[in-house]
Structures are given as C-alpha cells and as structure tokens.
Amino acid sequence: MDSTYDMQSPSDQSLDSGIVSFLQTFYRVSDTPGETEKYVEMFTDDATFVLASKKAVGHKEITTMREGMWDSVASRKHRISKLFPFGTDANELMLHGTVALTLKNGGSAEIEWAGRAEVVKADADGKYRFKFYQVYLDTGAAAAYKK
C-alpha cells in the first residue's frame, strides 16, 4: 500500500486496525478519478456527507457530489497526518491532513483539511462504511486556485 496513506493513530490498540485500513483504502479511492461506484459504496445507504458547505444524503446525492469533485480537478493526493478516535467502539473519528490538487486549468494547490466521521461495520459483509463524514477546509483558498 502507498505509504502516503499511512497515518499516526493511537498505539494502545483502542482503534480497530480495520478502521485504519478502511480509511487508507477510502483516500486511495478518493484520489482515483472514475472510481465513483467504489467511493459511494464506502458510505452506508443513508449516509450524510458534508464537504465544506455542500451536503449530500444517501448514495444518489453522494454520487452527484463525488462526480462534481472532479469538475475542475485533474488529480488529487491526500496525505493524512493524524487520526483521533473517540467513543466506546472508537468509531467516531477526527482526522487531519493535506490534499495536493492539480487543476484542469494548469494550476495547483495544497490545502489543509480536517474531517469528522462516524464509521459502522456492516453485519452483512463485515466492511466498515461511513455513516457520517464531514470535511472542513478553507473554501476561499480552494476557490482562489480554480481561477
């Protein structure tokens, strides 16, 4: 696995290693254009996804948001710095990192972001999925690079 998806997380075994693997896979898929179906399948059917000021609920809306995320972006690369779990099952998470963007207009940017998430493990297939995922980033900085 690409080491840029490694992240610092608690070393006291309070976090299921399956959650870390899920997040590593999620950001790798997130950085791959055309992987919309795989991306959306990493959310529960009724998940809420908030990206800055945009909100999507359910697979259909998340699909639309995901496709729009590539409108002006040619490539993206997430780097996750740290992961902070909380809760009885450590399934509530905060994380932060950077995302390097190459834009279709030839520009590029590196933007800091933070995320808040709740993951659940499906009974049917044992896979982790986002029930809730919110990304915080400076939309002004992001918009400036798109010009």
Predicted pLDDT at 1: 44
State the residue range of the domain holding 102: 3-146
**Dist CA 25 CA 35 (whole Å):** 12
Q: In total, how many domains does the chain have?
A: 1
Predicted pLDDT at 11: 67
Predicted pLDDT at 6: 84
pTM of the model: 0.90
Predicted pLDDT at 131: 98
Find the mean pLDDT for residues 26-54.
97
CATH number at residue 14: 3.10.450.50
Confidence of residue 8 (pLDDT cuts 50, 70, 90): confident
**Dist CA 74 CA 51 (whole Å):** 18
- 111 strand-pairing partners: 99
Predicted pLDDT at 7: 81
From residue 16, give the alpha-carbon distance in Å to each of 78, 91, 95, 125.
22, 9, 15, 16
pLDDT at 31 over 70: yes
